[in-house]
A = this chain, B = another copy of it.
């Protein structure tokens, strides 16, 4: 496939839907453990030599250091949460993305995804402490990475795709650095409503046959609300960032 095929809107929509299913599976899996608020408290990790970090932040850093060595962040839509990560130890051969941006980290929403996710956890999980600290932070990291991938993939590819379909209109707003105008142009409330309703159906069906004694069933409205109030707005914020940082020629 040529890079231009990356911007076929139907292909992007299908990929986004796959990422959405992954998010749902990972949130359901996090919710089998209680909130376990202690894992988010600095200095309470029980880790030697980590007086100021939480177990959660340590796990995220260890995971991202490993992932960085495996080349994860060579992929455009994989933007890390941590800084000062090691270089890849692996030669990653990637086809050209066709994205037109010099510094891909200009579209890094991680600093906003993090507090949004931490606000989601107490709504997603049962209250309290079940001592499953290691498992909780492990699943937090998997869910966070899936959410970040969805947001950054949407931000980059949807923005470029929409730009290519209406270059003149977008270019005018981009030159004027009109973030509000770009946001309005990118927004499609009918599609957002459709996504949100689809989420509800998927969260319900994914849990239809689970054993409700062993597993906390996730409230579909919680996932739906997170999509509506966090994932979709942050994706659009990323789209605006991409367009305002877009270079005229493909990398």
A-side residues, CB < 8 A to B, are: 14-15, 17-18, 21-22, 25-26, 28-29, 32, 45-49, 55, 58-59, 62-63, 66-67, 69-72, 75, 89-95, 131, 134, 138, 142, 198, 201-202, 205-206, 208-211, 213-215
Contacts and interface: CB of A to CB of B under 8 A. Distances in A.
B71 A62 contact: no
A131 B89 CA distance: 17
A138 B25 CA distance: 15
A12 to B, nearest CB: 10
Contacts of A66: 62-63, 66
Nearest to A15: B214
A91 B214 contact: no
Question: Which 6 residue pairs across A and B have the least CB separation, nearest first?
Answer: A18-B214, A14-B214, A205-B208, A17-B211, A205-B209, A46-B91
A90 B29 contact: no
A119 B48 CA distance: 40
Contacts of A138: 70
A47 B134 contact: no
Given A66-B63, A208-B205, A32 B18 contact: yes
A25 B29 contact: yes
A32 B18 CA distance: 8
Given A45-B90, A92-B46, A215 B32 contact: no
Given A25-B29, A49-B89, 12 more contacts: A14-B211, A18-B32, A18-B211, A21-B211, A25-B28, A48-B90, A48-B91, A62-B66, A67-B134, A70-B138, A94-B131, A208-B208
B209 A209 contact: no
B213 A202 contact: no
A71 B29 contact: no
A21 B47 CA distance: 31
Given A29-B22, A89-B47, A142-B142, A134 B70 contact: yes
Nearest to A206: B206
A28 B142 CA distance: 15
